[in-house]
Amino acid sequence: MDDAVRRREMPQRQAVADYKAILKDIIGRRPSGLRGRLAEAMGKNRSFVTQITNPAYETPVPLRHLETIFRIGHVSNEERVAFLAAYRRAHPDRLQTGHPPAIRHLLLELPDLGDEDRNRKLDRLLQEMAVQVSQLLMDLSRLRNYPDWVAEWEGACCAAQKAKHCTEEPP
């Protein structure tokens, strides 16, 4: 790696370390067990949470996890503003709207499988699937015509079925 490339990467690394220091401070002021709750909510393991909250690691915090961190960590508006300002400095192209996309929650009713370990595995499987589907939808939303074809599909599908759930697939 030549010196010019190294000099360009140093400010970016420092900017990542800056927002991770803010996040580490926020998490450090919360009750114990937060890292575990964050890991579970994100469908990751605790070591991932440690990597994204420790300024010593270069692993950036993925945009898709910000709202989960804010919600589970009960991050105040002031803390959120400070964190997002530092995050924006590190990743200027990731936050076009100034905040991560809104997250909505869905409650699922599932049968009890009669075994705590099986129930936990099913919960994790469904949670991971939801995260992957959400990531795919967020990636699709970056396509130029995404809003047009989704609106068209939703309108045609739901109007034809006059129901809350559409069974047709998008074009």
Residue 24 has pLDDT above 80, yes or no: yes
If asked whether residues 112 and 85 sit together in one domain, one would say: no
Is 166 within a domain?
yes
Looking at the structure of the chain, the number of domains it has is 2
Is 22 within a domain?
yes
Say if residues 27 and 34 touch (Cβ distance below 8 Å): yes
For the chain, the distance separating the N- and C-terminal CA atoms, rounded to the nearest angstrom, is 45
Reference 87, options 167, 19, 163; nearest CA is 19
Would you say the pTM of this structure is higher than 0.75? no
- The domain in which residue 40 lies consists of 3-90
If asked whether residues 14 and 78 sit together in one domain, one would say: yes
If asked whether residues 71 and 121 sit together in one domain, one would say: no
What is the tens place of the pLDDT at every residue in 107-153? Answer: 788 999 999 999 988 988 888 788 778 767 766 665 544 444 444 54
Of 12-21, 47-56, 116-125, 158-167, least confident by mean pLDDT is 158-167
What is the tens place of the pLDDT at every residue in 41-84? Answer: 888 889 999 999 999 998 899 888 888 899 889 999 899 889 99
Residue 170 has pLDDT above 60, yes or no: no
Alpha helical stretches, state H, 29-115: 34-42, 46-53, 66-72, 77-90
Predicted confidence at residue 151, as pLDDT, reads 47
Predicted confidence at residue 149, as pLDDT, reads 47
Predicted confidence at residue 116, as pLDDT, reads 92
Give the number of other Cβ atoms within 10 Å of residue 160's Cβ: 10
The CATH number covering residue 84 comes to 1.10.260
Q: Please compute the mean of the pLDDT values over residues 27-36 and round it to a whole number.
A: 91
Q: Indicate the residue among 90, 121, 155 that finishes a domain.
A: 90
Residue 158 has pLDDT above 50, yes or no: no
Is 132 within a domain?
yes
Q: What distance in Å separates the CA atoms of residue 98 and residue 156, rounded to the nearest whole number?
A: 33
